[in-house]
Structure 1
């Protein structure tokens, strides 16, 4: 299964919809996953899954605001390109 780290600025409508469906009342501390990136910096993210991919969306105040203000009828100004995302190696996932 493909694993992708996504910054909120690179969210697609699909990923944002998944986030809002999974966390309709917002996410809590228990939903946040912390890990070290390649630069040994701590990254906090929330997880959403599709049939073929696990997305780790970096947590920020702006992500929470974007989720709160998201309306499926509005056009979310984002391309489907997640070019700044990072694929994680298969062995990086402890659960599956």
Structure 2
């Protein structure tokens, strides 16, 4: 299954809808996943899944605000679909 890291600035309406559906009251500390990216930086994200993809949406204060203010009838979000594809080890251990 493909894993994609998405920054809040590049959320599509589809991903934002999935986030709001999965976390209608917002996400908590237990929902946050921490891992190291290719630059060895620690990244915190929340996960949403589709049939063929796992989206890891980077956590930020702006993400929480965006989720709270999301209205499905408005089309204010960028639909460019720009995302960063990376491989994340299943067991979250660093590879040599």
Output the TM-score relative to the length of structure 1: 0.89
1:11 corresponds in structure 2 to 11
Q: Which position in structure 2 is the counterpart of 1:81?
A: 81
Q: Distance in 2 between matches of 1:42 and 1:52?
A: 25
CA-CA distance at 1:43 after TM superposition = 0.3
Alignment coverage as a number of residue pairs: 91
Displacement of 1:40 after TM fit? 1.1
Aligned-partner SS, 1:30: helix
Task: Using structure 2 for the length normalisation, give the TM-score.
Answer: 0.89
Find runs of 4+ consecutive structure 1 residues off by over 4 angstroms. Answer: none
Q: How does 1:53-64 map to 2 (within 5 A)?
A: 53-64=53-64
Tell me the distance in 2 between the aligned counterparts of 1:20 and 1:76: 16
Measured after TM superposition, the shift of residue 74 of structure 1 is 0.9
Query: Equivalences for 1:1-96 in 2 at 5 Å?
Result: 1-82=1-82, 84-88=83-87, 92-94=89-91
1: CA distance between counterparts of 2:80 and 2:22? 20
Q: Which runs of 5+ in 1 are unaligned?
A: none
Decide whether the 8 Å contact of 2:3 with 2:54 is kept in 1: yes
Structure 2: unaligned runs, 5 residues or longer: 92-96
